[in-house]
Amino acid sequence: MDLFDFTRAPDPPQEPVRRIYTVSDLTELVRARLEADFGDVWIEGEVSNLRSPGSGHCYLTLKDDRCQIRAVVFKSVARFLKFALKDGQHLVCRGHLTVYEPRGEYQIVIDYLEPKGAGALQVAFEQLKERLAREGLFEASRKRPLPFLPGRIGIITSPTGAVIRDILHVLDRRFATIPVLILPVPVQGPAAAPQIAAALDEVNALSPNHRPDVVIVARGGGSLEDLWAFNEEVVARAIVRSAIPVVSAVGHETDYTIADFVADLRAPTPSAAAELVVPRRDQLLASVQTAQRRLEAAVRNVLGDRRARVVTERRAIQTPARRIEHALLRIDELAARLRDGMARLLTQHRAQRRYLAQAVAAAGPQRRLQTARLAYDRAIERLAAAVVTLLAARRNRIGTATARLDALSPLAILGRGYSLTRVLPSMRIIRSASEVAPGNELLITLARGKLTARTLSVSEQTLEPDAPPTS
C-alpha cells in the first residue's frame, strides 16, 4: 500500500505535443487520403465552364442543383471520344478523386464518360450530321445523276460475306457483260473507316481507261456500333470529294448512316444498289427492238412520201413545145400590161402639167402685185380707224384729268370767293383767329390780286356752315 504525501504539490498537467503541418504537407496528406478512399468513383452532372486549350486536355465543371466539382479529361482519353463535349450536356463519368496541389482544389480525373440517356455513338452521329448539314453536304443540288449504262462498276465492300455475292448475282442477272472492279476493305472495326476512305481515293486516282463510272459502297445490316465506320467523318469527306458518283448501300432499309446522306444516291440494300446502277439487259434489248421497229416504220413512211412527190413532179414536167406556148402567152400578157401602163403614165403626166401651169399663173408678178395692193389698202383703212379711235380716247382722258385738276386747284377755290391769309413778315398761313393779335400786318391773297391789311380786333366766333360771310 502506497503512502501519499499530502504535503507535496501535485505535478502540473502535461500539454499535448503540437504537430504543425506546412500547406504542402497537409495538401499531400489530403490528396493521398482522397486517392486512397475514392480511387474509382462514378459521378453524374451537367457540364459547364468547358475549356479545351491547345494541349488537348479538356477542363470542365460538373454540377447539379446544389454543388459542383472541377473535372479534367486528359488528352489520352479525350481523343477517343465519339462525341464532342458541350456546355449543358448531362454526363455519366467514371474517374478518381485527386487534389490539384498548386491551388489546393480537389477534382475528379475522368477516365470514361458517356452522355446520360442517349449513347455516345448516337450523340456523335447527331453532332456530325448537324455539322455536315450546315456545310451543305446533304444538299440535293450537289448530288450527281448516275450514268444510264456504266461501262465499269466499282464496289467497295468486304470481299467475304453475303453482300458481295448478292451484288454480283444481281449484276450478272441484269447485265452480265459489264466489268466489275472490287476494292476489298474491312467494313467494321477501328481500321475500317480509313481504309474505306483510302479505297475511294484510290479508285478516283485510276486512269480514265480503268476508272469505273459509278462506285457502290456496301455493307450488310448490323447495330449502330457495327455500322459506325460509315458514320466517320473521314468516309463522308472521301465520298464528297469523289469525282465518281457514289451509291451508298449500308445496312437494311431502316438503317441510315452519314454515308447515306452525303452519297449521290442511297440504296435501301446492297441488292437494290445493284438494281439502281444498271438496267436490265433484256429490257434494254426490248426497248432497242421497239425503237428499231418504229424507225423502220418511219423510214417506210418517209420513202412513201418521197415516191409520191416524185410521181407528182414527173407529171408536172411539160414538153418543150408546151413550155414555148406558155412563154408566148406570157409575153403577150406582159406587152398588154406595158401598153396599159404607158397610157396611164401619159395621162398622169398631162394632168400634172396642167396643174403646174395653173400654179405658175397664180404665182405670177401681176397677180402677186394685185394681191399686195389690196392688202395695202385694207391696212391703210385699219390704221386710220385705229388713229381716230386712239385720239378720241386720249381726248377723253385729258378732259377728265383737266376737270380733276381744276377741282383740286387752289385758284379754283379762290375763284369761289375764298381768300388765303398770311401774317407778315413770316408769311405763315392763318387758320384760326387766335393765331393773330391786334396790330399784326396781314397779306390776303384773292382770286385776282393781293391785299395788305392790319388787324384791328380779334373775334373767335365760329361761322355757321351755311352763313354768308359778313361784309
- The pLDDT of residue 16 is 64
- The pLDDT of residue 6 is 44
132/255 same-domain check: yes
Is residue 357 in some structural domain? no
Map residue 167 onto helix, strand or coil.
helix
108/157 same-domain check: no
109/136 same-domain check: no
- The pLDDT of residue 471 is 40
- The pLDDT of residue 2 is 45
Q: Kindly provide the residue ranges of all beta strands, DSSP E only, lying in 24-140, ordered along the sequence.
A: 41-51, 58-63, 68-73, 90-100, 105-115
99/169 same-domain check: no
Q: Are 231 and 128 in contact (CB under 8 A)?
A: yes
Burial (0-12, 13-18, 19+ Cβ within 10 Å), 171 = buried
- Which residue among 278, 305, 327 closes a domain? 278
DSSP label of 15: P
Q: What is the DSSP string of 120-163?
A: HHHHHHHHHHHHHHHTTTT-GGG--PPPSS-S-EEEEE-SSSHH
CATH number for the domain harbouring residue 155: 3.40.50.261
Beta strand 105-115 pairing with 90-100: antiparallel
Is residue 113 in some structural domain? yes
135/92 same-domain check: no
Domain hosting 431: range is: 414-454
82/167 same-domain check: no
Q: List per-block mean pLDDT (blocks of 10 residues) for the chain, which spans 471 residues.
A: 48 68 80 78 85 87 85 86 78 85 85 70 77 86 88 90 87 87 89 91 91 91 80 89 91 82 90 86 76 86 86 71 76 86 87 81 73 85 87 86 76 76 86 84 85 85 56 40
264/130 same-domain check: yes
- The pLDDT of residue 415 is 73
Is residue 384 in some structural domain? no
CATH number for the domain harbouring residue 75: 2.40.50.140
Q: Are 187 and 249 in contact (CB under 8 A)?
A: no
* Residue whose C-alpha cell is 397610157: 343
71/156 same-domain check: no
- The pLDDT of residue 469 is 52
- The pLDDT of residue 120 is 63
- The pLDDT of residue 196 is 92
Map residue 232 onto helix, strand or coil.
coil
- The pLDDT of residue 465 is 55
Is residue 379 in some structural domain? no
- The pLDDT of residue 205 is 92
Rounded to an integer, what distance in angstroms lies between the CA atom of residue 422 and that of residue 430?
A: 6
Q: Are 226 and 254 in contact (CB under 8 A)?
A: no
Sign of CA dihedral 188, 190, 196, 199: negative
156/265 same-domain check: yes
Q: Which residues pair with residue 70 across a beta bridge?
A: 61, 107
R_g of the chain, CA atoms, integer Å: 65
Rounded to 10 degrees, the C-alpha dihedral 39/42/44/47 comes to: 40
70/169 same-domain check: no
Is residue 71 in some structural domain? yes
Is residue 291 in some structural domain? no
113/202 same-domain check: no
- Which residue among 253, 278, 303 closes a domain? 278
- The pLDDT of residue 175 is 84
Is residue 206 in some structural domain? yes
- The pLDDT of residue 4 is 41
Is residue 340 in some structural domain? no
**Count of domains observed in the chain:** 3
Largest CA distance in the chain: 192
pTM, entire model: 0.44
**Angle at the Cα of 227 from the Cα atoms of 224 and 229, rounded to 5 degrees:** 120
160/273 same-domain check: yes
